[in-house]
Chain A
Amino acid sequence: MAAPGSVLASRRVRRFESFRAITAAAALITLVLLLAVAIFLVVKAIPALRADTASFLTAKGWQPDSTPPVFGVAALAFGTLLSSALALAMAVPVAVGVAVFIVEYAPKRIASWLGYAVDLLAAVPSVVFGLWGVVFLIPRMTGFQHWLATRFGWFPLFADPDGQTATASRSIFVAAVVLAIMVLPIVAAISREVLRQVDPALKEAALALGATQWEMVRMAVLAPSRAGIAGGVMLGLGRALGETIAVALVLGTSFAINWHVLTPGGNTIAANIANYFAEAGPTGRSALIASGLVLFAMTLFVNTVARTVIYRGAVRRGGDR
């Protein structure tokens, strides 16, 4: 009986070995792809960076095909970060709220329907959100934007110095609302799965100690899920930073660094690529690729910082116990 047993065992070892090789290859392919993208961006960006007569990182205009070429990524990078940050500020509380409701509060049937609805929202193509934003949302946001500007104009972000919000304004704010709707299902779906993983014993223990339902959710469900939810937020942020066509359709582009999110204008790196690629000349195309490189670097940077923060947070909380 010993011989067949060892054959079986060695087969299992072989299977284990080949499976490990397959997963390692998959991981390697991801890295190679990432590296290939980075190399492509750098190589194609160099001609434009050489030709640029302005400082690429600090200049604000985008005239790469004029003679001499003048363009810079500053306003685009600013708009990308501002619109994404605003979108997350709107989407994350709602998304986490939806997830907590589905997992902890909703009756089973409603919870599963709500879950489907959220997943469906994630499946809507971004161009549909963009068209909806242009045709439906922008005219209907006029009243709200104007109200915000008149009531809360003292808050620098909502200021409207030139009185531009009285008519429909294709602002960073509207773009952020569209982005928020697109980010929401991603954050909600991941948060829901993370909250589901919470050990029921932890929840029961909290309730047994006399915690109210809210206290139980806060301490036994949300607190241990923080890192997982943050991971979902990072994925959402990735989508917001890179979203192209919806932003290109909604935003009233301008090349200025403008903190007034309700006034028309603003631009993002991805939207700018969509807007200019078709008509770009050789330098223009290279310049757009250079801006893509900046977006690539920004995304990497934001992800790394966020991961570090989450990791530190997890370590510190671990130390508190």
Chain B
Amino acid sequence: METQWAKDFGAKCAGAQINYQGVGSGAGIQQLGAGTIDFAGSDVTMKSTEQAAANAACGSTAITMPVTAGGVAVIYNLKGLSAPVNLSATTLAGLFQGTIKKWNDPAVAADNPGVQLPATAVTVFYRSDASGTTQVFTGFEKAVAGSVWSLGTAKTVNWPTGQGAKGSDGVTAGVAQTAGGITYAEVSFAKSNHLPTAAVKGAGSSFSTISAASVSSAIAAGFTITGIGNDLAGALDYTKMTDGYPISTVSYAIVCSRYKDSAKGTLVKDFLSYAVTGGQPVAESLGFAPLPAELVSKDQASIAAVS
């Protein structure tokens, strides 16, 4: 995502070069703290120790702000169904924890009245590598399915069933190869593998398919800023995402509020301004979702203070 922004931004402003390396959120935050990079993109906010390290490296407060929204799609492989399968949070918990073993299980049928479901066995594919996607999916399940979900929430959990595969491309390829397969990944992987995505019901009362609009409205409902002042770090409350697609999250940029090199500060500022305005449609074309307008205006106020 940020790689595309960096490229587009470089193309628009001659002389500005931003080198963005996709290394994973953990490594990004660590390198920011070590002072080897000037800003980081991350799926998660910083822990207090990481914040302290980043502040020290910046020589000023490091601030976090959401720059894009994204949904985690539930991708499956079932032939002969005309509409997307409906799955509630508790049904998903049953599927991913191995208590629902066949697709025509009563729990799945209850979510899909009138649909002739096949008796295909369920094969779960989960991420074998540590991933923010797993964190989001398990976070949603833990919040919404409650006690039915026993695996907790983390970048890796101990899955009781199914098999692991590396990366979003790996799990999606696994599902594509396996009739009855199911996984969670960014929606772009479903599209590239021509696989359907489920309509999901979270805390709300209706099933929602994943789209840029439905993810944005879920973020508008479920994202609360917890940071102080210009720091826009926030928390997601999946139980509040009653509107839109409920397995949604935001990605952050972490920057210094004041750069030692003022030219660098201006560049970061311009890049972020581009990201939250002109960059949003680009994000959408890559399978991310635009931020709700309210967050964009808060971002712009925070960006204006960066120097």
Chain A positions near chain B (C-beta within 8 angstroms)? 61-63, 65-66, 134-135, 138-139, 166-170, 248-249, 251-255, 264-265, 267, 271, 274-276, 278-282, 284
Q: List 12 A-B contacts (CB under 8 A).
A: A61-B158, A168-B174, A170-B164, A170-B174, A248-B129, A254-B163, A254-B164, A275-B129, A278-B27, A279-B24, A279-B155, A280-B26
A166 to B121, CA, bound (A): 10
The segment from B175-183, B240-248, B286-294 found at the interface with A is: B175-183
Contacts of B178 on A, CB cut-off 8 Å?
Answer: 167-168
- A279 and B165 contacting across the interface, CB-CB below 8 Å: no
- A279 and B164 contacting across the interface, CB-CB below 8 Å: no
A166, A251, A271, A275: most-surrounded residue (chain B CB, <10 A): A275
A186 to B59, CA, bound (A): 53
Interface string of B110-130 (1 = CB under 8 A from A): 000000000001010000111
Chain B positions near chain A (C-beta within 8 angstroms)? 23-27, 30, 47, 121, 123, 128-132, 154-156, 158-159, 162-166, 170, 173-174, 177-181
For the complex, would chain A's binding face be called helix, strand, loop or mixed by DSSP majority?
loop
Contacts of B24 on A, CB cut-off 8 Å?
Answer: 278-279
A-B pairs with lowest CB-CB distance, top 5: A252-B163, A278-B24, A264-B163, A279-B130, A275-B129
Contacts of A249 on B, CB cut-off 8 Å?
Answer: 166, 170
Q: Say how far A60's CB is from chain B's closest CB, in angstroms.
A: 9
- A169 and B130 contacting across the interface, CB-CB below 8 Å: no
Contacts of A135 on B, CB cut-off 8 Å?
Answer: 173
- B164 and A252 contacting across the interface, CB-CB below 8 Å: yes
- B129 and A252 contacting across the interface, CB-CB below 8 Å: no
- A276 and B129 contacting across the interface, CB-CB below 8 Å: yes
Given that A275-B128, A278-B23, A278-B26 are contacting pairs, would A63 and B156 also be in contact in the complex, using a CB cutoff of 8 Å? yes
Find the B residue at minimum CB distance from A248.
B166
Given that A170-B164, A264-B163 are contacting pairs, would A279 and B25 also be in contact in the complex, using a CB cutoff of 8 Å? yes
Q: Say how far B20's CB is from chain A's closest CB, in angstroms.
A: 15
Contacts of A66 on B, CB cut-off 8 Å?
Answer: 154
Q: Say how far B171's CB is from chain A's closest CB, in angstroms.
A: 10
Q: Say how far B181's CB is from chain A's closest CB, in angstroms.
A: 8
Find the A residue at minimum CB distance from B49.
A282
- B130 and A275 contacting across the interface, CB-CB below 8 Å: yes
Contacts of B165 on A, CB cut-off 8 Å?
Answer: 134, 170, 252
A7 to B154, CA, bound (A): 75
- A278 and B177 contacting across the interface, CB-CB below 8 Å: no
A159 to B72, CA, bound (A): 36
Other than the given A253-B164, A254-B163, A274-B166, 9 more pairs (CB < 8 A) read: A63-B156, A134-B170, A168-B174, A248-B166, A252-B165, A278-B24, A278-B27, A279-B155, A280-B26
- A278 and B166 contacting across the interface, CB-CB below 8 Å: no
B23, B154, B158: most-surrounded residue (chain A CB, <10 A): B158
A62 to B159, CA, bound (A): 12
- A167 and B179 contacting across the interface, CB-CB below 8 Å: yes
- A265 and B163 contacting across the interface, CB-CB below 8 Å: yes
A251 to B164, CA, bound (A): 7
- A167 and B180 contacting across the interface, CB-CB below 8 Å: yes
Given that A62-B156, A278-B27, A284-B26 are contacting pairs, would A167 and B130 also be in contact in the complex, using a CB cutoff of 8 Å? no
A287 to B38, CA, bound (A): 27
Q: Say how far A280's CB is from chain B's closest CB, in angstroms.
A: 5
- A279 and B163 contacting across the interface, CB-CB below 8 Å: no
Q: Say how far A174's CB is from chain B's closest CB, in angstroms.
A: 11
Contacts of A284 on B, CB cut-off 8 Å?
Answer: 26, 130
A251 to B125, CA, bound (A): 12
Given that A169-B163, A252-B165 are contacting pairs, would A281 and B128 also be in contact in the complex, using a CB cutoff of 8 Å? no
Find the A residue at minimum CB distance from B53.
A282
Find the A residue at minimum CB distance from B173.
A134
